[in-house]
Amino acid sequence: MSPTATVPSAAPDRPGMSFYAPEVRVSKLAASLQASAEPGTVLPRGVLGDLMHAEVTRVNSGLSQYTLTFNNAFLSTAQDRQQRFDDLGAGNPRELLGAKDLPAWPRFKYNDFAQLCFGDRLRVDMRYMPEPGSTSLDPDATGAGWTPMVAGPITDIRFSFASGQGAQITVSGEDDLSRLKDKHRGRVPMNRRAEVSIVRQVLEKVQYPLKIANPLVKYPDFVLDDTQGIDEALADGQSPFDLIQKLADRLDFEVFLDFGQPSASVPVPPLEFHFEPYRGRAKPNEHLRSAYRIDRERNLLEFSPSIKVVDQYSRVLVKGRHRDPLLATEVKGEASHQILSDELHIDTSVDGPLTSGPELREKWFGGQPNWTSLPNQTNLDEVRADWAARTAIRKRARQLFAIEVQCVGGPRIRPGNHVEIRGMRPPFDGFYYVTRTVHTLGTDGYRTRITATRPGMPAPPYVLPKENAS
Q: What does the domain layout of the chain look like in residue ranges?
A: 21-86+105-174, 180-277, 286-463
Q: How many CB atoms lie within 10 A of CB 352?
A: 15
> What distance in Å separates the CA atoms of residue 243 and residue 265, rounded to the nearest whole number?
37
pLDDT at 2: 38
The answer to whether the CB of 350 falls within 8 A of the CB of 420 is: no
3-state secondary structure of 39: coil
H helix or E strand, kind and range, residue 57: strand 51-59
Q: For the CA atoms of the chain, what is the radius of gyration?
A: 26
Q: Do domains 21-86+105-174 and 180-277 have the same CATH topology?
A: no
pLDDT at 163: 75
pLDDT at 15: 43
Q: How many residues does the chain have?
A: 470
State pTM to two decimals. 0.89
Instruction: Say which CATH architecture domain 21-86+105-174 belongs to.
Output: Beta Barrel (2.40)
> What distance in Å separates the CA atoms of residue 366 and residue 352, rounded to the nearest whole number?
23
Convert 169-205 into a string of H (helix), E (strand) and C (coil).
EEEEEECHHHHHHCCCCCCEEEEEECHHHHHHHHHHH
Of 190, 251, 195, the closest CA to residue 228 belongs to: 195
pLDDT at 5: 38
> What distance in Å separates the CA atoms of residue 89 and residue 95, rounded to the nearest whole number?
14
Of 227, 212, 260, 241, the closest CA to residue 38 belongs to: 260
As to burial, measured by CB atoms within 10 angstroms (0-12 exposed, 13-18 middle, 19+ buried), residue 218 is exposed
Counting as low any pLDDT under 70, the low residues of the chain are 1-19, 76-90, 96-103, 130-144, 464-470
CATH code of the domain occupying 180-277: 3.55.50
> What distance in Å separates the CA atoms of residue 418 and residue 435, rounded to the nearest whole number?
9
H helix or E strand, kind and range, residue 362: helix 357-364
> What distance in Å separates the CA atoms of residue 344 and residue 348, rounded to the nearest whole number?
12
The answer to whether the CB of 342 falls within 8 A of the CB of 356 is: no
> What distance in Å separates the CA atoms of residue 133 and residue 255, rounded to the nearest whole number?
33
**What CA dihedral angle connects 189, 193, 198 and 202, to 10 degrees?**
-40
The beta-strand segments (E) located in 341-400 are 355-356, 371-380
* β-bridge mates for residue 450, sequence order: 405, 437
3-state secondary structure of 24: strand
Q: Report how far apart, in Å, the C-alpha atoms of 182 and of each of 208, 236, 437 are.
A: 12, 12, 26
